[in-house]
Amino acid sequence: MGETYLKGQMTAAVLYGKEDIKIEKVPIPTLEPGEVLVKVNVALTCGTDLKVYQRGYHARMIVPPALFGHELSGVIEEVGPGVRDFRRGMKVVALNSAPCGACFYCLKHQENICEDLLFNNGAYAEYIKIPRRIVETNMLALPDDLSFESAAMTEPLACALRGLQETGADIGDTVTVIGAGPLGLMLVQVAKLTGCKVISVVKRAEQVAAAKRFGADEVVQIGKTHDPIDRVIDVTEGRGADVVIEAVGRPQTWQWAVEMVRRGGVVNFFGGCASGTKVELDTNRLHYSEITLKATFHHTPQTVRKAFSLIAEKNVKSTDYVTGEAPLSKLKQVLQQMLDRGSQIKTAIIPGH
């Protein structure tokens, strides 16, 4: 391609272990054929990053010391040999993974559980290298009028869309979403956009207003007057919801989900619990009430594109989810604040500052 590749150092966040990150100079990645170097404009914080920060690793994605962060958008700085669809200067969103497209699961259109799902991390940095497979499958060019911040939400929104889609929820159905973190709120929003009646089960007082803003018709706050299960049963005419999506990731709320769904309804265990945990479920209720239990994890290239078009059409905007901005140098403080207060929805980390 005749381009001269950037050489030298960049600033990046390096995860060393439990609550241990340092902002350091590291080499700018060099490109192999098919790869692309993106200058990161925005990297959004996310609950997964927070877990990674808290635990110091991620079973499937990150072994320290490592670059991390995975919700990003930016501008292509360099393209490796053989890249055809992208050029230097294009604004893009690059997803955090890409399936192989050839294994048993990919051929069954379950690309999210691909045997060889390739993850890419390192959004909290001035530059990030995008591997060939992601360039070819899960990197999308931004229309001119789309903000970097909104585009960077493609990844979590793709997970939320897939979560709803797999339940079969349709216009007029009652969907209960347990949890009001960013993903819980996105599930509320996409269920509302689908034409469902949405019940949001939240924990903290400030989440009540957030859930309403994203379209919840009813908000049930845990710990206020009623048992949350009874309350959901009450507002669904004594039946329970058609669909219940658990977006907390705790065994107790998994159990609630099963108790909040109607006969013949569908439960999606969307929130992943800590490994080794177990739940106890009433076998009679599952069988005689014909309850369908599902779980969804991650996204597929199809839901990535759906999410991107919802964002490009401005149906989902970053201004609703991103509550603040901070330079890369403040990343540790931002994550620590999220841990302590749990109130920020998402913060836009700006590596260039």
Binding site for Zn ion (CB under 5 A): 46, 48, 71, 99-100, 103, 106, 114, 156
- DSSP annotation string for 304-353: HHHHHHHHHTTSS-HHHHEEEEEEGGGHHHHHHHHHHH----EEEEETT-
Residue position matching structure tokens 């216009």? 171
CB of 27 vs Zn ion, minimal distance in Å: 26
3 state SS of 65: coil
Its sign, for the CA torsion 302, 155, 219, 317, is: negative
Phi, psi of 254 (to 5 degrees): -60, -45
CB of 323 vs Zn ion, minimal distance in Å: 16
Distances (CA, A) of 351 to 69, 79, 235: 12, 20, 46
CB of 214 vs Zn ion, minimal distance in Å: 17
CB of 221 vs Zn ion, minimal distance in Å: 26
By beta-carbon proximity to Zn ion, the closer residue of 157 and 198 is 157
Q: What is the number of other CB atoms lying within 10 angstroms of the CB of residue 21?
A: 21
By beta-carbon proximity to Zn ion, the closer residue of 106 and 291 is 106
CB of 315 vs Zn ion, minimal distance in Å: 19
By beta-carbon proximity to Zn ion, the closer residue of 100 and 141 is 100
- Which of 78, 53, 58, 68 shows the shortest CA–CA distance to 14? 68
Q: Cα Rg for the chain, rounded, in angstroms?
A: 21
By beta-carbon proximity to Zn ion, the closer residue of 35 and 111 is 111
CB of 239 vs Zn ion, minimal distance in Å: 34
By beta-carbon proximity to Zn ion, the closer residue of 205 and 274 is 274
By beta-carbon proximity to Zn ion, the closer residue of 46 and 208 is 46
Its sign, for the CA torsion 58, 63, 66, 71, is: negative
